[in-house]
Structure formats: structure tokens, C-alpha cells
Amino acid sequence: MFERLARLADAFDALNEWLGQAVSWLSLLMVLVTFLVVVLRYAFDLGWIAMQESITYMHAALFLVGAAYTLKHKGHVRVDVFFGRFSARAKAWVDLLGSLLLLLPVCLFIFSVSWDYVAQSWSLYEGSREAGGLDGVYLLKSLILVMAALLVLQGVSIMIRCGQVLRKLRA
């Protein structure tokens, strides 16, 4: 059973690692598109709303899809007043309880309150409010649900890893 849980944690980690590395390229693409928007506007007096909106879409995708990758790599803000001095057992308990009592409920709350918001956007195939803008606002809003789901998967992985640490230290 513990081997299956470890494989499940490995699968969740691999998924978030792959997605995080994939969307990380959006940061470079955002810089290039922003540069292009500025050059086109000020050098050639040209501009396209869709190109400008694409920067917002890339930014949202980078942060929403990359949130679980950041959690996996312990990149989120952590107030480390005591945690750094804790034993491996205490750290595992803090991470386990933090994931179980804070991360998962918040992600489930985000998922549940966002569902109707995203569903309504899909029902309308919501597009940009600007003429010439991008028509995929409903896809952009769907990333809220993707973020919550990916964070839940990473939280489960963290809890499995903490259980492994606690089991190993107890043996």
C-alpha cells in the first residue's frame, strides 16, 4: 500500500513538475510580446488588442498553473520563525497538518466558489469585451479550477511524503 501511495505522489509531482516547467516559458514569451507591443506602438504607431490581452492570458497561466510547481519546490512564502529549528518529525507534522487543515480546505473552497463563475463563462463562451480582443476568456477563467485541482494534487503528494517521513522515523 505504501508503495502505491509513493507512486501516486511521484505521479502528482511529475505532473506538476512538467506543467511548471512548461508554463515557465511563458515568462520569456511575455517579455518578448511586451517588447513587441511597445516597439509596434511607439515606432510604427500600430497596436492590436489581442496581442496586448495575450500578455494577461500568459501571466494568468504562468501564475495559476505554476502555483503547484512552486509549492512542490517550497517556493511559497513561509514564516520561518520556528520551522527551521524543528526536527524532521516536527517539520513533517507541520507540513502534514498545514496541508490537511489549511491547503486542502482553501483549495476546495476556491474550487467550489469558482465553479459557477467558470460555468457561466463557458455557457456564454465568454470573450473579450474589447473589439479585436481574444475570445477565450472562458478558458482563462477555467485556469482557476485547474490551479485549485493542481494544488490539491500537490497537497496530497506532500501529505504522502510527510507520512513516509513519519513512518520511517517511527520505525
pLDDT in tens, 78-101: 777 787 788 888 889 999 999 999
Q: Which amino acid is at 40?
A: L
Our CA angle for 100, 117, 77, nearest 5°, is 40
Residue-wise pLDDT tens digits, 8-18: 999 999 999 99
- Residues 113-169: tens digit of each pLDDT: 999 999 999 999 999 999 988 999 999 999 999 999 999 999 999 999 999 988 887
Domain that holds residue 54: 2-170
What pTM does this model have?
0.91
Provide the H-helix boundaries in the chain: 2-44, 49-72, 88-98, 104-124, 137-170
Residues 6+ apart with CB under 8 A from 125: 135, 138
Total tally of structural domains belonging to the chain: 1
Confidence of residue 2 (pLDDT cuts 50, 70, 90): confident
